[in-house]
Amino acid sequence: MPLNIVLIEPEIPNNTGNIGRLALASGSNLHLVKPFGFEINDKRLKRAGLDYWPHISLFIYENIADFYAKHKDKNLVYFSSHGKKDHWSIDFENDMFLVFGKESVGLPETITQSNSDKLYKIPLYSPHIRSLNLANAVSIAVYEGLKHL
């Protein structure tokens, strides 16, 4: 029944720690796809997740191919500022995978191009901002999903 949060090559330990905390609070699973921009035992990662980190339902993959080999038949949706559809139009389902890219460049172009029908954006209402912080974007998507479920 839980949602699955997927971070492709996360770079900032504080974001990943906060998202881990969110995963636990929301009953979601957290999937991390290497390479990371930090060590998994980074104290900033643990500090952002407080003492919750040992309780998180965590899955780690060596690379994108490893992740897809295990989850190719799952219901995946992707988040990108390049999405044409708003996240409000997602037909959320139990066990859905919400896939996010790294902080600096988002999802790889190969993923956005081959999954354009499942690519969603969170609307931004100011021309002065390019994107949201990754942890904030994940929070918005997860709680929108929980509302629908």
Q: Would you say 40 is a known binding-site residue?
A: no
How far apart CA 39 and CA 67 sit, in angstroms, is 19
Pairing of strands 85-86, 76-79: unpaired
Q: Is the peptide bond before 54 cis (omega within 30 degrees of 0)?
A: no
Q: Would you say 27 is a known binding-site residue?
A: no
Q: Would you say 37 is a known binding-site residue?
A: no
Known binding-site positions for S-adenosyl-L-methionine: 101, 122, 131
Known binding-site positions: 101, 122, 131
